Amino acid sequence: MQSTSRITNIFLFLLLWLTSGCASDRPPSGGPVDATPLQVLFSDPAPSAVQVSTERIQLTFNHDISVRQLLNTVNISPSIGEYDIAVSGRKMEIKGFKPLQQERTYILTLDKKLRDSNGHTFAAPYTLAFSTGAVLDNGIINGTVFNRDYSPATNALIVAFAKHPESSTAGTLLQGEPDYFVQANGSGAFSLQYLAKGLYQIIAFNDRNGDRRIDAATEEIGFCSKAIVATGSSDLLFRLSDMRHKSEKSPPASKVTAPAETGTISGICFTSAPYVIVEASSLTASYRTTASRERNGALQYSFPNLPSGNYTISAFIPSNGKKPDPERQWNPGSIEPFQPAEPFGLYPEKVTVRPRWTTEHIDIRITASK
């Protein structure tokens, strides 16, 4: 009996020891959830690498990812044609079906909506640029995209089509493959980087379905005031509009009445254009006026008797150069045929109108298109 009891005690001791040993190798349950944003820890080629000859692009993330998530979030500019994507845990590999072109800068972009296995996303879109030649292209075009109501277009995608002297893009932008693209950030700002120096047609659109293609039937589209944009251009402004309703007239601006609680906004529009239409918009109404050129050359505007509230103050330059009716609508441009938008400007902050108070120096700077 003593032997049996001794054997039993030894067995129980070993069982407890093994159990505690196994438990020590596991992370404690109920610990803090890893909320670290998705990040790329390693890439091959390395960022800004030159003389790249590999046909494979490898990335290592800080969290596990899936092929399904990657398929809709990977973009390579300029296009490398068809390729395979393989994923193993935190590692991803892209292999093209044909060699990369010589003396070209390539840009791999991962959409900021990419999610890992736990739902983490990037803090901002991930970009990897490398070159098969001796130098990396360094052309830049930047700007800001607004929604129709001038709120930041955080879901905007900006695409660039290279403009070559021998090419004709009339009627082809909707079907064409853009040479470069980038996403707007949380404030609507964007920067197209690593561009080959040259001329481009730039379009912004609200990529509702996430397919990175312009759909004029369902997505708002925006153009800047320049038909052709050169690398090095900055501070471009885009305002998204529904192209389906471009021909429809917007409701006329509200007439400024004189209720008891009103105030005044005034300022100057800085531009070389002869005329400017200024608009003050609140959540419930909008008011327009034409800025008048003063003797000192300044384009002065004023909104007397505005109802109290917060307003967005914007202005645009009519394209025909003639003195406009204040009720005239801003022309957002068109994609077929390609036509730039009329130049516009925006006061960067909401302006508060207080009763019996004049808010001055609400100045707007507008760059006329060239």
Q: Output the pLDDT for position 19.
A: 47
Q: What is the pLDDT of residues 115-157, one digit of tens each?
A: 888 888 888 889 999 999 999 999 999 999 999 999 999 889 9
Q: What is the pLDDT of residues 182-226, one digit of tens each?
A: 999 889 999 999 999 999 999 999 988 877 888 888 899 999 999
The CATH code belonging to domain 262-365 is 2.60.40.1120
Q: How confident is the model at residue 25 (pLDDT cuts 50, 70, 90)?
A: very low
Region(s) of the chain under CATH 2.60.40.3710: 37-136
Region(s) of the chain under CATH 2.60.40.1120: 262-365
* High-pLDDT (> 70) share of the chain, %: 84
Domain 37-136, CATH number (from 2.60.130.10, 2.60.40.3710, 3.90.1110.10, 3.30.420.40):
2.60.40.3710
Q: How confident is the model at residue 14 (pLDDT cuts 50, 70, 90)?
A: very low
The CATH code belonging to domain 137-248 is 2.60.40.10
3-state secondary structure the chain: CHHHHHHHHHHHHHHHHHHHHHHHCCCCCCCCCCCCCCCEEEEECCCCECCCCCCEEEEEECCCCCHHHHHCCEEEECCCCCEEEEEECCEEEEEECCCCCCCCEEEEEECCCCECCCCCECCCCEEEEEECCCCCCCEEEEEEEECCCCCECCCEEEEEEECCCCCCCCCCCCCCCCCEEEECCCCCEEEEEEECCCEEEEEEEECCCCCCCCCCCCCCEECCCCCCEECCCCCEEEECECHHHCCCCCCCCCCCCCCCCEEEEEEEEECCCCCEEEEEECCCCEEEEEEEECCCCCEEEEEEEEECEEEEEEEECCCCCCCCCCCCCCCCCEECCEECCCCEEECCCCEEECCCCEECCCCEECCCCC
Q: Output the pLDDT for position 22.
A: 45
Higher per-residue confidence, 19 vs 309: 309
Q: Output the pLDDT for position 58.
A: 96
Region(s) of the chain under CATH 2.60.40.10: 137-248
